Amino acid sequence: MKKVLFVCHGNVCRSAMAQAIFNQLIKQRHLENEVLVDSAATSTEEIGNPPHPEVRKILDNLDISYQGQSARQIESSDFIKYDLIIGMDYENIKNLLHWCPKDQAHKIHLCLDIMEGQKGDAIADPWYTGNFDLTYSQINAAMPKWLDYVLNL
């Protein structure tokens, strides 16, 4: 089974949204026995909280489940457990590389690096921009490409 972890600062906006969308793609493609997805935070600020209300609103409108999701902080064991760790911005990547064992650093990627012409771009943080629709659009475009990538690992 391939295991994917999405990471952002608080795990209530971007990584929570990515987890929900990715999980929906897994179910649509009947890959539940092949791919596992989770999400985590680099901070402790939102631990235990559900996805942000605006994230829930978008996902509810699109009938995308986020059931059972609550924010958690990344743990050292995650670097061994997951095959792919996808950060939403450079701050996430910097923190992940700082905590990650050197022999696991190859697993860490910036989310939009999978997109043609967007290498090096960050997923907009709606916590600060308020633009949850832009964040959804960016994440939604990247998720099918990440799933294809994971299936070819």
Active centre residues (catalytic):
8, 14, 125
| E strands in 46-131 | 84-87, 108-110
DSSP SS3 for 39 = strand
Query: In whole angstroms, what is the distance from residue 128 CA to residue 105 CA?
Result: 28
β-sheet bridge partners, residue 7: 40, 87
Query: In whole angstroms, what is the distance from residue 22 CA to residue 43 CA?
Result: 22
Half-sphere exposure of 46 (CA within 13 A, CB side): 24
| E strands in 1-153 | 2-8, 35-41, 84-87, 108-110
